[in-house]
Amino acid sequence: MPDGNVESFEAAEALLRKQGYCVINPHAIYHPADSSWIDYMRRDIAALLIADEVYALHGWRDSRGARLEILIAKELDMPVTEQPDCER
Average pLDDT of span 47-76: 96
Residue 61 corresponds to which amino acid?
A: R
Straight-line distance from the first to the last Cα atom of the chain, in angstroms, rounded to the nearest whole number:
15
> In this predicted model, which residue has the larger pLDDT, 86 or 21?
21
Whether 45 contacts 20, CB under 8 Å: no
Stated pTM of the model? 0.87
Whether 73 contacts 52, CB under 8 Å: no
> In this predicted model, which residue has the larger pLDDT, 41 or 86?
41
For residue 70, how many other CB atoms are within 10 A of its CB? 19
